[in-house]
Chain A
């Protein structure tokens, strides 16, 4: 094959895949919005549209942040939640209830709470990343290990505070500790939408650099990429995306792993120009499909996070046991 033929062939496969996935996403969205919508359509849409948008934002944010993190670490099993993001979120919730009491916690204005969570998580994550990155040679294992230990510290702290809370306060924490897609606050969608859209746009602009970074630190430097700077950009974007998704719907541990594993097996090539849109589409389909099954077939008997974490956990075990790391 001549180079131009190779290029042409490589270009036609993703197009088919993208068309199929986009159609599937559109159909799933239409089914989600209009299926069983007997009665006042405007009334029903007012409930379903925010949930659909929330699902979209969460899927894109969690999927792309996991992709970025895996590109930087060169590892297909790691996810940003390993850096203690979920436990940090729960620690914030627990501290607010612990120090202010559950009545104040419930009375907090949603948008203020959301923006505070978003900024605290982003700032703390960046503080952690940048101190570690400054230690010379971008020691990724040290960064990961620190993240895991910090995660355990956060969990222990919130565990301690939860233990001395009254049962009523504890129940409030309990309900905040699980992802909820059903009752997304509409007033937050605007902020979350802007944060996710800007991050995705910046990620898209980095796509060619990401391909080089995926080769590993030494080859990237050899090819003229300032690896430490690139690593900081990637980690900052990851921090903002994960923080937005978590502040919007709560901790979603395994979702990222599920999406990225699917994407890697679907993708015809591993250029980020293919991977990024594919991740967004696949993520949306997975979440939307899960939510459809739950809402319409299982009548909300369980939450979608149970399904995602069950499937994600099984997939994680499969990846660990069946595939080379």
Chain B
């Protein structure tokens, strides 16, 4: 779905990304893992045009990212940043309805209402729909932003640490929801810090370190004790419990 070729990014003299060539396979959940400062978020930002790379190319569905108009791109690719500050005073439902903007340009229809209501239900926001965002807790806010992203309903979804602030139940619900949508043909790429979530829910893993791709491949190839210990420079043991991979950290 997404292919990058030799992406370089330097910010204020610091090499953030160094010759990154990765592929995010279509119809799968890809997890980006790696230590702090590995360049996971920066990679996600260059994939979504929030940050322009110094050199290299990004291809989405066989077309260069730079060939997409802004509004066209937003119908094919959505992104959730790690720290989104929202300038305006909004109710939860209004925020989620903005997810339909790329499709309706702000003229909401009944069909849009159905999608927005579904997104609100998916994230247990029905009760909170008419609350103002600033009255929400961190986790509720994160769910509202996720619901907006799901209302955008794009083929390709980039989520930067979507589990931030979510409690156990909602974290699990989110991952199950992502799986259901993947089965319908959508593609997800997530930055994850919890290796167990990656082991449980991802199909494809991209491990990054020092601005480079450290290793990429299926779960078995990346999520083993040797690779992970090298990746994080600390001892990590992968074990199998009740048929599931589990990281002992």
Say yes or no: B74 contacts A222, CB within 8 Å.
yes
Asked whether A225 lies within 8 Å of B85 as measured between CB atoms, the reply is: no
A74 within 8 A of B: yes
Q: Which residue of B lies closest to A275 (CB)?
A: B88
Cβ B130 vs Cβ A1 within 8 A: yes
Given A208-B106, A212-B98, A216-B84, also A224-B90 (CB < 8 A) = no
List of B residues within 8 angstroms of A269 by Cβ: 91, 94
Q: Which residues of A contact B75 (CB under 8 A)?
A: 224
Tell me the nearest residue of chain B to A74, going by C-beta.
Answer: B87
Interface size on B, residues (CB 8 A): 38
- Do A219 and B84 touch across chains, with their CB atoms under 8 A apart? yes
Expressed in whole angstroms, the minimum distance between the Cβ of A214 and any Cβ of chain B is 4
In the complex, what's the smallest C-beta–C-beta distance from A226 to chain B, in angstroms? 4
**Distance in Å: Cβ of B46 to nearest Cβ of chain A:** 12
Per-residue interface assignment for chain A, residues 110 to 150, with 1 indicating a CB less than 8 Å from any chain B CB and 0 otherwise: 00000000000000000000000000110000000000000
Stretch at the interface among B17-25, B48-56, B189-197: B48-56
A216 touches B85 (CB 8 A): yes
Does A3 contact B106, Cβ atoms closer than 8 Å?
no
Is there a chain B Cβ closer than 8 Å to A169's Cβ?
no
The listed residue (B51, B89, B101) touching A212 by CB distance below 8 A is B101
Of the candidates A211, A224, A264, the one whose C-beta lies within 8 Å of that of B70 is A224
Nearest CB of chain A from residue B195's CB, rounded to whole Å: 27
Which residues does chain B contribute within 8 Å of A224, judged by CB atoms? Answer: 70-75, 101-102
What residues on B are CB-neighbors of A3 within 8 Å? 93, 113, 116-117
A11 interfacial contact with B, CB 8 Å: no
Q: How far is the CB of B119 from chain A (nearest CB, A)?
A: 12
Q: Which residues of B contact A137 (CB under 8 A)?
A: 51-52
Beta-carbon contacts under 8 Å, B20-57 to A: 48-52
Partner of A218, one of B50, B102, B107: B50
Contact call A270/B90, Cβ cutoff below 8 A: yes
Where the two chains meet, the residues of B that have a C-beta atom closer than 8 Å to any C-beta of A are 48-52, 70-75, 78-81, 84-91, 93-94, 98-99, 101-102, 105-107, 113, 116-117, 129-130, 152
Closest 7 CB pairs of A and B: A224-B74, A208-B106, A74-B87, A224-B71, A214-B88, A224-B102, A226-B70
The chain A residues found within 8 Å of chain B, CB to CB, are 1, 3-4, 6, 71, 74-75, 136-137, 208-209, 211-212, 214-216, 218-219, 221-226, 264, 269-270
Write 22 A-B pairs (CB below 8 A) sorted by A numbering.
A75-B87, A136-B52, A137-B51, A208-B106, A208-B107, A211-B98, A212-B101, A215-B87, A215-B88, A219-B84, A219-B98, A221-B70, A222-B74, A222-B81, A223-B98, A223-B152, A224-B71, A224-B73, A225-B70, A225-B71, A226-B70, A269-B91
